Amino acid sequence: MAAIEKDFKRSVVYQIYIKSFCDSDGDGIGDLPGITSKLDYLAHLGVDYLWITPFFPSPQADGGYDISDYCAIDPVYGTMDDFDELVREAHARDLGVMLDMVLCHTSSKHAWFQRALAGDERYRRYYILRDGRGSTGAGDPGEPPTNWQCAFGGSAWEWEPRLGKWYLHMHDVSQPDLDWTNPEVRAACADVVRFWRERGVDGFRFDVVSLISKPEVFEDTPDGSCRSLVADGPHVHEYLRELVAASGIDGMLTVGEMAATTLENCILYTTPERHELTQTFSFHHLKVDYADGDKWKLMEPDIARLREILRSWQEGMQAGGGWNALFWDNHDQPRAITRFGGREGAGERGGSWERVGRMLATCSFTLQGTPYIFQGDELGMTNAGYPSIDCFADVESTNNYRILMEGGATAEEALHVVNERSRDNGRTPMQWTSGPHAGFTTGTPWLAVPENHVFVNAEAEVGVAGSLFEFYRELVRLRHELPVLAEGAVRFLDAGTQAPKVIAFERTLGDARLVTVCSFDSEPSRATGLDVDGARYLLGSYDDAPVPGADGALELRPYEAAVFLS
C-alpha cells in the first residue's frame, strides 16, 4: 500500500493508546478493529496521522513497551489482517498510520534474549552484559557493575545466572537493553522498521531513542541516575542516520522520544540535511511541577520556568533549523488539564476544566512545531482520582507507591502522590459515552473508567457548539489553513510585571502576524506590550475577546487564552 505523504509542518498527529481506545470484542482491552471502527470520528476531528502505541506480542510488564516479537500482532489486539484493514481504511480517509518502535530494549521473553539465556554467543552479544564488581569468578555475582537506577525504581542491573553476567535494563527488569554497538543489532532493528514500512505504514515514533548509544565507559553517578549520562550518547546520531537509510524511511514523518536530551542534540536530530528524524519530543516543560526535580514530590507548576523552557526550545530549535513535536499529554503523563489547574466543573461550560483545556490547546497549536493530540485531550479527559492503589496497573506507579511508603509516607499521602503522577492517568479508557464503562467496552475494562465520564465524553461533545471537541476541530482547521502557523517564525513576548503567569508569543510570516497570549493564572492578570490593537480576534478560552485597557493592555480572566491575527 502506498504511503500517505503530508507536509509535517501543516499536520496534526493523534496518539492512540491502543489498550484503552476502543474494545471491539468485549474482552475489556482495546484492539485494532476498535480503532478502525472510530476512523470516521478521527477524520471528523480533522487530524492527519494516527500514532498507535505498540500492539506487538508482549508480556505487558510495561504496557506493551516490552516487546517479545516485533513483526507480529498480539492476539489480544487482533490479527495481521485486522492491521491491513486498518491501514486501508485509514488511507481511504486520508489518514496516515504511525507505529511505535521500541528499539532501545526488548522483552526478556523475546527470542533474542531467550537464545542468549540458552547460551547462544551470537545473541549474548545482542545485550549489554557485564561482570559484577568484586566478583571472585564464575558464578559469583558480586555487586552491580554501577550504581545506576532504572526508570521504575531499583537497580538498572539484574544478575542472571544463566548468563553468568549482569544485564542492563534502564527500564523494567523484564526489558534488557539492546547493545547498539553490535552491527547485527542495528541491522535487525532496520529490518523491523522496513517490515512495517512495506505494509503501508506512513511514519514512526521511536521510543526513548536518545538512550540507544551508551557511554564508552560505565561509571557511577553521584545519585545513581544514569539517564543524563546515557542520553544523546557518543554514536546516537550515527546510529539514527544508519537506521533511516537502511530501513528506507528518509522523508517520512518520524519523531523521537528524547529522554534527558539537550536542545543542541535535538537540533541535530531534526535538521533536515542530516537525515535523522523530522521532529523530537522533549520533556523538560512537563517537569515544572517536580519539587527538587523529583517526579514523586509535588509542587504547583512553576510558570516562569515553563515560559523560559518553551522560549528557549522554540527560539533555539528555530535558530538551529530543528523542529519540535508539541504536546502536553501522552501515555506516560498525568492529564495536563488536571496538573495545570482544571480541577473544577468537569464537562461544564465556564469552569476551570474548560478554561484550562482550551488554554493548553491554544498554546500548543499556535507554537512552532507539529501538534500532537493524545486520545481524550479533545474531550477534556482528566486524572482518574482512584480511591485505592489496587486500582492502578502501572508498574512505575505501584513501585513508587511502595517506595513512598518505605520512606515514611502514610497510605493516604502515598496514594495522593500516585494519583497526581501516575501514568495510568493517561491510560484510562477513552470516554465515548455516558453509559457503562464509557462505551469503551461491553465487558470489564482492564483499567477503571473515571467517574466523570458521565459528563466528559464524545457523545456529549461531537457536533455540540462550544464544546471542547469542536474547539479542537477549529484549531486543527486553523493549523491547516493559516500559513503563518505552519511556516511562521516564532518570538516570545514580554507580557509585563502584572502578568507573572502569562506566556505570550508571536508568529510572523511576510505581512501576517499572529499573537497568542495564554494565562496559566487562576486569578485575573494584566498583559501589556503585546501590540494587538486593530488585530482580529480568532479564538480563545472564552467566547469573547479579552477586554482591552485604555493603554492597550489586555485584561485577562483566569486561565484565559486569546489568539489575534493581523
Any idea which residue has 489547574 for its cell?
341
Question: Catalytic residue among 160, 177, 179, 207, which?
Answer: 207
Q: For residue 278, give the nearest of 256, 246, 300 by alpha carbon.
A: 256
Q: Are the C-beta atoms of residues 241 and 249 closer than 8 Å to each other?
A: no
Q: Identify whether 257 is a catalytic site residue.
A: yes
Helix 263-270 / helix 236-247 crossing angle, nearest 10 deg: 20
DSSP 408: T
DSSP 371: E
Coil/strand/helix, residue 336:
helix
Element (H, E) at 517: strand 512-519
Q: Are the C-beta atoms of residues 540 and 362 closer than 8 Å to each other?
A: yes
CA dist 489 and 204 (Å) reads 26
Element (H, E) at 255: strand 253-257
Q: Rounded to the nearest 10 degrees, how much is the dihedral formed by the CA atoms of 340, 345, 348, 354?
A: -10
Q: Are the C-beta atoms of residues 95 and 39 closer than 8 Å to each other?
A: yes
Q: Are the C-beta atoms of residues 90 and 97 closer than 8 Å to each other?
A: yes
Q: Are the C-beta atoms of residues 32 and 82 closer than 8 Å to each other?
A: yes
CA dist 541 and 352 (Å) reads 10
CA dist 516 and 488 (Å) reads 13
Question: Catalytic residue among 48, 82, 257, 506, which?
Answer: 257
CA dist 93 and 250 (Å) reads 24
Any idea which residue has 545519585 for its cell?
223
Q: Are the C-beta atoms of residues 344 and 359 closer than 8 Å to each other?
A: no
Q: Identify whether 315 is a catalytic site residue.
A: no
Write out the catalytic residue numbers: 207, 257
